[in-house]
Structures are given as structure tokens and as C-alpha cells.
């Protein structure tokens, strides 16, 4: 479903160019659970950004369902991210002043969904993460684990095909991490949502079906 | 994102930093408050002018006078004009009467050259002595002529349409009978002095056809028809040096068509006359009000200009504060256009709230001033309020302020829309 062909990403420096990603070829199938691991600076986040259509490669291509992402215009990319992808970030990026409900429905609001769809999908997503009774609470009043569950609900609300999780447990204690991990894997298993986890946590990576290890912008191992 | 959602979210975003928004709104408030008041002042004046000049009507009438020809010597404001000795017979430094007096031959020329003319009435000056009815009280009377083709708005009865008729001013009419309609058709006796030096007084019996609506000229004057006016004028001026020398004429044309009137005006211009229709006179009065209003509004615009920098400042800070939020919105598929719109709405809303407060504040202050001033200074100006607030003017002020706010928001909104989502999410 997601495929990269000879992907390169170079950042222009003052004297030297930094090759962040070199010669990346990979294929991710529908419903897979993939971990991208590597030390900081290995290029794993950049790879995720390219896969998630948040950034453009310097050369090579990313294909989603056979379609080359670089061929899409700005608007089509926005639509693709909104409809097909969900995002979970380490720092949550919740709007603390707004209610849990408002945070969760943001992708649906951006999509322009009507009130019925909006409420229905928000309720389903909140139920899936077990926060149905907290929809009216302000996001800032939640605990770290609850916040990340709100983020998962937000990633889930638009019924995406792929969820990108960038260090989803990076800010959480081990007990909370475990429940968040469980929740993500459950979504992957039960709803068939492709899960792409970017992490430097080997324990989390080991729970995934596939591990892609990056070092200095290159794939060094794949299992 | 839906349009209405964008507006709601923009409004919520504004109230996140209440103090900052409030202060920015206050700056806009000052501008729109001033603009509301200057507009109210202009509308008040225009209303007053309306009441004054709309009193006379006549779409086929032109008032003409000779174009005043400048004498050859150029007047240089930086140099004093030298006095020149002239021999007798020459005009010298004395004002040349011929420059403004329209001679009988010229009137004949007009009649021959312009077949469109129906009547020509010179401006007859009269001096009335008193007016009375059936031996009732005598009142001082100021006589004025209503030229052929001009009609006067009336409170009762109708305007003059024949000989030996008179229109009374409201005050005199009320002195004779509170019910104005009772006066219509009755006879009034108008007296005038035949010669300034003697005490010889003549009287005329005139039919009251109506009572004039109040206005600039009609507060005191009684109007008579042109035939009566001519008679009085001849009685009073026969012996005078400048008998039958007129500087102002009223032309009544056979047509009221705008295009024909323009043609006649052109011809008159070639013949050396300047011509004004009633509409031209009204327009000049309105132009005066408009110029005054623009002058006053300038202050409001300066205030709004200063306030719009406040909006820019507020929004630039908001964009910085919300960089991560914008990054997230973009990552979740919110397009550049929508981000631009979101911030534009925020700036328009700042303008909108400022305009609402400014208009309401302006109306309140203006109304208080109206009440206060009506009680004290303006008692003699009947029907004049200093500030008149019209819904359309208020709406236009609001629209204008919102537009200014929108323009101010373009730069920050554009910056927000161009943010790179990855960098924005990483922003500390």
C-alpha cells in the first residue's frame, strides 16, 4: 500500500549538503504493523514525514496505493492526509482550552463534515479509547495517558487507513505506555489499520510485526 | 472546514487572550466611534439642507446671471494693485455695472436665440410694509417672488399658479388661524410703500392659496406671483436710476428633459450667462456638506490606520503563539486557504467588534448631545439635530471598518498560511 522507490532526502547546508535519507526502498502492506527505529538523527522522523506526505523527497518517489505522492497538488495532499492518515505525536499537540470533544473532531471539522457525522464519529472514536465520559472536559485537565488517548481518538476519528505514531509513548510512564501500546496494536489488529510507529524504544519496536532500522539515513536491517 | 465553523473558531481563538484582544478592539473602537459621529454629523447637516433646499421645486427652471468677466489686469496675491488715474468717462477703478446687468436687448436676444424658453422672469425686488386680513392685526411682511415654473412646498393649500396670489409663511398664517385650511381662498391685504421718501402706501388684495412649509427662506417670506411682484416693483422703482435693470433672471423652459436642459445651458454659456437649475443649487449645498464630512472623517481614518497596526501586531503575535497549532492543523489536512481565512476572520472580527462598540458608543453619545443641545443652543433652528444616525450609514461604517481590519490581517494571515507543518510542529 505504501511504497518507496530509491528515496533520497537532502538538506542544503552552508558548505555541505546533509543526506538525511539515502536509497530507501521499502514496501508496507495494508494492515501491517511496522516500527521504524534508529537513533536520533538517523532519519526516521524524516522518513515518516515523507511517507505521511508532510514533506517532499529530494529524489525518488513515495507511492500510496500505487499513486505517486509527488504528483499530487497541495490540495490533493491535504485531502489525502485528512482522509487516509491519522497522526499521533509524542507531544500530543492538543488544544488545552478546548474540550476533549473539540480536540477529537478537529480532522472532521477540517473535512467539513456535518454535525451528525461529526458527533457520530467522535463518539465512536472516544468509545474506542475509553474516554466517552470525558468528552466535555478540557484537554488540559487530563492526565498524560488520557491526553495520548485523546490523540489516538483524534487519529481515529476520520477512519484512516494508516496511523503514523511518532514516539507515541515518549512522554509517558511505563504503565501508561503499556496501555497506549495495547490500544494501538488492538486498532491495528481489529480494524486493520496500518500502523507505522517511529520510536527509539526497542521494547515497543519488538512488539511490532516488522522492524526497519535506520542508521545515518540508510536501512541497516529489516526483520 | 465549513465557513461557519471557521468563523466560530476564529471568534473562540480571539477570546483566548482576552486582554490583548480587548485592547486591540479598543483601538478600533476609537476609530469607528469617531467615524460614526462624523457620519452622524454629516447626515444631520444633509438632513437639514434637505429640509431647506427641497422646499422649492421645478425641473424646467434655470436661474441665470451674467458670467462675471475678470478684468484684464491679473490679480497677483503677492503684489499690491497699483491705483491708476483715469480720465472721466472711463470706468476707472469703479465697478462696471454692465458686467452684471442684463439689458433689455440681451433679454430679447435670449428669447430669439433659445426657442426652448417659455417665460423669462426678472428677479423683482420688493419691499413690503404689512399684511392684514379683514381688519385683523397687521404684521410686518417680507415679500418675495415665486418665479414662473418654481413651486413651493406647502403645509396647506397649493403653490402659486396664477395672478394675484400669495403664499403665507407658517407663523403669520398661524397667527390668523390655527386651522390653516380655513385661510385658503381668503383674501389678504398687502401694503407697500410707493416711495421711500413719502409716506404714500398702496394696498393690494391677494388670494391666499397656501401656507409655505418651513425652510431657510420661507420662515419669514411671503411669496407672491410674478405679475404681482412686477406691479409692486414698478410702483416702487419707477423713479429710480436702475429701474428695470436686472442681474438675475429665471427662465422657464418648455421641457424638463435633462438632456435638453443641458443643451440650453451650453447655449447660455456661449451667450455669456451662467445657469443653475434647482438641482444644481441643491447639489452645491450637498457638496459643501460632503467636503466638510470628508474633512472630519479624515481624523477617524487616521485613528483607524493606527488601530490597524494594532491588529497586525496582535495577529503576528498570535501566529507565533499558535505556530504548533497551525502545524497540527496543516498536518491534519487544513489547506493554506483555510488557514488564511481563519486568521482573516480573526482580524475581521476584531474590526467587527470594534465597529459594533464604536457605533453603539457613537449613537449613545450623539443622542445625548442632541438632547442636550436641542434644549439649549439650537432652539431657533427648528427641525435640526446635530447628529442623525441612519441604519445605512452605520452599516457602511461597520463594513468599512471590517474591510480595513481585513486588509490589516492579510500579512499575518499570509504568514500563517505559509508555515511549513513539520517546522511548525517542531517550533519551540
Alpha-carbon torsion, ordered A122, A125, A128, A134, to 10 deg: -40
Residues 8-27 of B with CB under 8 A from A: 9, 12, 16
For residues B408 and B410, give the distance between their C-alpha atoms in angstroms, rounded to a whole number: 6
Tell whether pTM > 0.95.
no
pLDDT single digits (tens) B215-234: 665 667 899 999 999 999 98
Q: Any idea what DSSP says for residue B389?
A: -
B1 touches chain A (CB under 8 A): yes
The phi, psi pair for A15, rounded to 5°, reads -110, -40
Of A49, A81, A109, nearest to B5 by CB-CB distance is A109
The C-alpha atoms of residue A61 and residue A77 are separated, in whole angstroms, by 14
| Start-to-end Cα distance in chain A | 18
Helix (H) or strand (E) holding A212: strand A210-215
pLDDT band at B88 (very low <50, low <70, confident <90, very high): low
Sequence-separated (6 or more) residues with CB below 8 Å from residue B318: B13, B17, B343, B346, B412
Query: HSE on the CB side for A86, CA within 13 Å?
Result: 28
DSSP A143: -
Among B327, B332, B341, B428, pick the best mutation site for testing chain A contact (most A Cβ within 10 A): B332
Could you report the per-residue pLDDT of B30-86, keeping only the tens digit for each?
999 999 999 999 888 888 877 777 777 788 888 888 886 555 555 566 777 777 666
The predicted structure's pLDDT at residue A141? 93
Mean pLDDT of A30-36: 93
Q: Residue B367 has which C-alpha cell?
A: 443622542
Provide the H-helix boundaries in chain A.
44-51, 74-84, 100-111, 115-128, 144-156, 174-191, 202-206
User: What is the mean pLDDT of the segment spanning A160-179?
Assistant: 90
pLDDT digits (tens, 9 = 90+) for B286-329: 888 889 888 888 988 999 999 999 999 999 999 999 999 999 99
Query: What's the distance, Cα to Cα, between the start and end of chain B in Å?
Result: 27
Instruction: Note the ipTM here.
Output: 0.93
Residue with cell 451528525: A116
**Is the per-residue pLDDT at A105 higher than 90?**
yes
Backbone angles phi, psi at B221, to 5 degrees: -75, 145
DSSP string for residues in B53-95: HTTEE-TTEEEEEE--PPPSS---TTSPPPP----TTS-TTS-
pLDDT of residue B60: 86
Rounded CA separation B230/B26 (Å): 64
Whether the per-residue pLDDT at B161 is higher than 60: the answer is yes
pLDDT more than 70, % of chain A? 100
Residue A12 has pLDDT above 90, yes or no: no
Beta pairing, strands B139-140 & B117-122: unpaired
C-beta atoms of B336 and A55 within 8 A: no
The answer to whether the beta carbons of residues B231 and B98 sit under 8 Å apart is: no
Residues of A in contact with B422 (CB under 8 A): 49, 54-55
Decide which of A102 and B382 is more confident: A102
Mean pLDDT of chain B: 86
Distance CA B146, CA B155 (A): 16
Interfacial B residues in 168-227 facing A (CB < 8 Å):
none
For chain B, positions 313-332, list CB contacts with chain A under 8 A.
324-325, 327-332
Contact A156, A129 (CB under 8 A): yes
Confidence bin at B162 (pLDDT 50/70/90):
confident
**Chain B residues touching A89 at Cβ < 8 A:** 328, 425
Average pLDDT for A45-65: 92
Question: Is the model's pLDDT at B189 over the cut of 80?
Answer: yes
Q: Which helix (H) or strand (E) holds A63?
A: strand A59-64
Which residues, numbered 92 to 131 in chain A, qualify as contacts with chain B under a Cβ-Cβ cut-off of 8 Å?
93, 95, 97-98, 106-107, 109-112
Q: Under an 8 A CB cutoff, do B334 and A110 touch?
A: yes
Closest CA to A84 of A170, A182, A161, A29: A161
For residue B340, the distance in angstroms to the closest alpha carbon of chain A comes to 14
Residue B386 pLDDT: 83
Q: How buried is A115 (Cβ within 10 angstroms: 0-12 exposed, 13-18 middle, 19+ buried)?
A: exposed
The answer to whether the beta carbons of residues A77 and A64 sit under 8 Å apart is no
Q: Which of B191, B117, B207 is nearest to B159 (CA)?
A: B207
DSSP state of B17: G
- Note whether B332 contacts A110, CB cutoff 8 Å: yes
Tell me whether A72 touches chain B (CB under 8 Å).
no
pLDDT band at residue B245, thresholds of 50, 70 and 90? confident
Give the sign of the dihedral formed by CA B364, CA B368, CA B373, CA B374.
positive
How much is the mean pLDDT over chain A?
91
φ/ψ of residue B373, rounded to 5 = -70, -35
Half-sphere CA count of B96, side-chain side, radius 13 A: 13
Amino acid at each position: 500500500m505504501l511504497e518507496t522507490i530509491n528515496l533520497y532526502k537532502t538538506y542544503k547546508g552552508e558548505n555541505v549538503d546533509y543526506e538525511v535519507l539515502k536509497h530507501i526502498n521499502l514496501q508496507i502492506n495494508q494492515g501491517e504493523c511496522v516500527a521504524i527505529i534508529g537513533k536520533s538523527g538517523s532519519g526516521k522522523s524524516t522518513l515518516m514525514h515523507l511517507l505521511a506526505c508532510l514533506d517532499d523527497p529530494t529524489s525518488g518517489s513515495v507511492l500510496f496505493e500505487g499513486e505517486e505522492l509527488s504528483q499530487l497538488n497541495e490540495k490533493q495532499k491535504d485531502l489525502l492526509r485528512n482522509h487516509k492518515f491519522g497522526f499521533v505525536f509524542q507531544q500530543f499537540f492538543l488544544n488545552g482550552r478546548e474540550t476533549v470533544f473539540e480536540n477529537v473532531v478537529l480532522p472532521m471539522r477540517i473535512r467539513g463534515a456535518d454535525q451528525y457525522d461529526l458527533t457520530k464519529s467522535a463518539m465512536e472514536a472516544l468509545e474506542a479509547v475509553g474516554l466517552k465520559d470525558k468528552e466535555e472536559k478540557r484537554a488540559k485537565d487530563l492526565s498524560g495517558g488520557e491526553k495520548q488517548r485523546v490523540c489516538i481518538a483524534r487519529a481515529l476519528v476520520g477512519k484512516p487507513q494508516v496511523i503514523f505514531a511518532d514516539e507515541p509513548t515518549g512522554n509517558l510512564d511505563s504503565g501508561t505506555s503499556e496501555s497506549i501500546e495495547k490500544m494501538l496494536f488492538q486498532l491495528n489488529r481489529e480494524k486493520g489499520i496500518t500502523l507505522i510507529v517511529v520510536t527509539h524504544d526497542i521494547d515497543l519496536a519488538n512488539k511490532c510485526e516488522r522492524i526497519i532500522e535506520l542508521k545515518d539515513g540508510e536501512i541497516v536491517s529489516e526483520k | 472546514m465549513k465557513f461557519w465553523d471557521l468563523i466560530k473558531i476564529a471568534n473562540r481563538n480571539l477570546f483566548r487572550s482576552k486582554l490583548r484582544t480587548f485592547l486591540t478592539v479598543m483601538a478600533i473602537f476609537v476609530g469607528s466611534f469617531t467615524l460614526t459621529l462624523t457620519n452622524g454629523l454629516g447626515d444631520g447637516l444633509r438632513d437639514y439642507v434637505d429640509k431647506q433646499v427641497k422646499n422649492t421645486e421645478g425641473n424646467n427652471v434655470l436661474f441665470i446671471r451674467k458670467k462675471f468677466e475678470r478684468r484684464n489686469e491679473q490679480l497677483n496675491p503677492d503684489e499690491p494693485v497699483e491705483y491708476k488715474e483715469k480720465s472721466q468717462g472711463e470706468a476707472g477703478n469703479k465697478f462696471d455695472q454692465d458686467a452684471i446687468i442684463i439689458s433689455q436687448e440681451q433679454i430679447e436676444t435670449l428669447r430669439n436665440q433659445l426657442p426652448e424658453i417659455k417665460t423669462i422672469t426678472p428677479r423683482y425686488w420688493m419691499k413690503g410694509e404689512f399684511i392684514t386680513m379683514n381688519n385683523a392685526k397687521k404684521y410686518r411682511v417680507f415679500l418675495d417672488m415665486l418665479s414662473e415654473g418654481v413651486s413651493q412646498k406647502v403645509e396647506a393649500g397649493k403653490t402659486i399658479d396664477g395672478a394675484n396670489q400669495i403664499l403665507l409663511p407658517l407663523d403669520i398664517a398661524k397667527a390668523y388661524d390655527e386651522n390653516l385650511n380655513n385661510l385658503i381662498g381668503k383674501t389678504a391685504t398687502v401694503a407697500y410703500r410707493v416711495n421711500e421718501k413719502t409716506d404714500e402706501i398702496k394696498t393690494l388684495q391677494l388670494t391666499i392659496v397656501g401656507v409655505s412649509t418651513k425652510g431657510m427662506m420661507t420662515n419669514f417670506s411671503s411669496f407672491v406671483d410674478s405679475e404681482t411682484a412686477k406691479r409692486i416693483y414698478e410702483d416702487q422703482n419707477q423713479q429710480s436710476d436702475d429701474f428695470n435693470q436686472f442681474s438675475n433672471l429665471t427662465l422657464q423652459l418648455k421641457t424638463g428633459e435633462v438632456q435638453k436642459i443641458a443643451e440650453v445651458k451650453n447655449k447660455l454659456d456661449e451667450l455669456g450667462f451662467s445657469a443653475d437649475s434647482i438641482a444644481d443649487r441643491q447639489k452645491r449645498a450637498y457638496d459643501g456638506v460632503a467636503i466638510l464630512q470628508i474633512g472630519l472623517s479624515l481624523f477617524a481614518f487616521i485613528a483607524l490606520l493606527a488601530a490597524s497596526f494594532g491588529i497586525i501586531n496582535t495577529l503576528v503575535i498570535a501566529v507565533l503563539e499558535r505556530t504548533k497549532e497551525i502545524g497540527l492543523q496543516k498536518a491534519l489536512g487544513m489547506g493554506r486557504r483555510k488557514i488564511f481565512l481563519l486568521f482573516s476572520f480573526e482580524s475581521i472580527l476584531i474590526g467587527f467588534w470594534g465597529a459594533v462598540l464604536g457605533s453603539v458608543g457613537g449613537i449613545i453619545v450623539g443622542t445625548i448631545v442632541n438632547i442636550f443641545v436641542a434644549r439649549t443652543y439650537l432652539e431657533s433652528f427648528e427641525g435640526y439635530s446635530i447628529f442623525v444616525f441612519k441604519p445605512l450609514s452605520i452599516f457602511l461604517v461597520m463594513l468599512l471598518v471590517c474591510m480595513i481590519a481585513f486588509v490589516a490581517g492579510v500579512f499575518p494571515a499570509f504568514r500563517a498560511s505559509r508555515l511549513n507543518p513539520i517546522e511548525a510542529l517542531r517550533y519551540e
